[in-house]
């Protein structure tokens, strides 16, 4: 229990056929809300920090916060750098206390992605820090990641096995048609591709871009057995919508703590709902 890396957490999820939710926080209020949700639901939890959040809050503050909160939580909690593309930021997160790193070399050619990911994996594993790699390129916009439709590249199942063996990663994010951001129009996901990836791999598989998925698509992905699914955009919307609601309803009151309390409550409720959907409730 307490602050751990993602290795055992995700292997257990794959074996027992549930998903661990990974939630992108933006401040201390959303981090605290996520951990409170995990405690109430008795669920494992992965806190994600984007590169932008890391630079905003600092390399010392984030690990100190999560260690303090996880120590008393009584559930397994991990913190992962999400979409690490900058080598300096990645190395600093490794050195300052992140328990897991997500390496995003997906925009690079296959061999360059392998070399980039392998380099970081070797450094991280020396400190017992787990590594998530990415093969394939999902669309949409999230923080510094911006991929248009023409650049989307779905994951080749056969290359997924080779990629894991040659990089030594602990888990792999794959592209099946999900996108960063909110979905517009018809959602078209390649469930057959994911099914094949699950059949030929024996390591944890990750799905990014799960905010705002239609319920039937979300259920179908979960049924196929990935170990981790990411929720980011919805948390940003909850944060700003909560602030907006507070200001609209209390336009003559200036109490930031009350506004942040509303953010916390609404973030907690969102995360608890996903823990139930993912099947991780009671799995701590």
What is the rounded CA–CA span in Å between residue 236 and residue 233? Answer: 5
Strand partners, 102: 132
Residues 204, 163, 95: CA angle, nearest 5 degrees: 70
Residue 232: closest CA among 208, 261, 216, 252: 208
Strand partners, 134: 173
Kindly name the residue from 27, 72, 82, 122 that is annotated as catalytic: 82
Q: Is 170 a catalytic residue?
A: no
3-state SS string for the chain: CEECCCHHHHHHHHHHCCCEEEEECCCHHHHHHHHHHHHHHCCCEEEEECHHHHHHHCCCHHHHHHHHHHHCCCCEEEEEEEEECCHHHHHHHHHHCCCEEEECCCCCCHHHHHHHHHHHHHHHHCCCCEEEEEECECEEEECCEEECHHHCECCCHHHHHHHHHHHCCCEEEECCCCEECCCCCCCCCCHHHHHHHHHHCCCCEEECCCCCCCHHHHHHHHHHCCCEEEECHHHHHHHHHHHHHHHHHCCCCCCHHHHHHHHHHHHHHHHHHHHHHHCCCCCC
Q: Which are the catalytic amino acids?
A: 82
């Amino acid at each position: 229990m307490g602050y751990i890396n993602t290795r055992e957490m995700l292997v257990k999820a794959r074996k027992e056929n549930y998903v661990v939710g990974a939630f992108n926080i933006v401040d201390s209020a959303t981090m605290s809300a996520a951990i409170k949700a995990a405690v109430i639901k008795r669920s494992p939890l992965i806190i994600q920090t984007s590169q932008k959040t890391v630079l905003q809050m600092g390399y010392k503050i984030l690990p100190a916060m999560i260690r303090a909160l996880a120590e008393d939580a009584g559930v397994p909690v991990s913190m992962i750098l999400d979409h690490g593309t900058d080598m300096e930021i990645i190395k600093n997160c490794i050195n300052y206390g992140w328990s897991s790193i997500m390496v995003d070399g997906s925009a690079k050619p296959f061999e360059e992605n392998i070399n980039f990911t392998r380099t970081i994996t070797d450094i991280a594993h020396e400190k017992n820090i787990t590594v998530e790699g990415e093969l394939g390129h999902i669309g949409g916009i999230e923080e510094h990641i911006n991929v248009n439709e023409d650049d989307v590249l779905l994951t080749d199942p056969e290359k997924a096995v080779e990629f894991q063996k040659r990089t030594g990663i602990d888990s792999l994010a794959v592209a099946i048609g999900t996108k960063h951001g909110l979905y517009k129009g018809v959602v078209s996901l390649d469930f057959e591709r994911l099914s094949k990836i699950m059949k030929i791999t024996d390591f944890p598989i990750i799905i990014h871009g799960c905010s705002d998925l239609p319920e039937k698509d979300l259920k179908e992905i979960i049924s196929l057995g990935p170990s981790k699914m990411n929720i980011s955009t919805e948390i940003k919307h909850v944060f700003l919508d909560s602030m907006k609601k507070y200001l609209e309803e209390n336009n003559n009151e200036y109490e930031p703590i009350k506004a942040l309390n509303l953010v916390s409550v609404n973030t907690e409720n969102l995360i608890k709902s996903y823990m139930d959907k993912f099947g991780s409730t009671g799995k701590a």
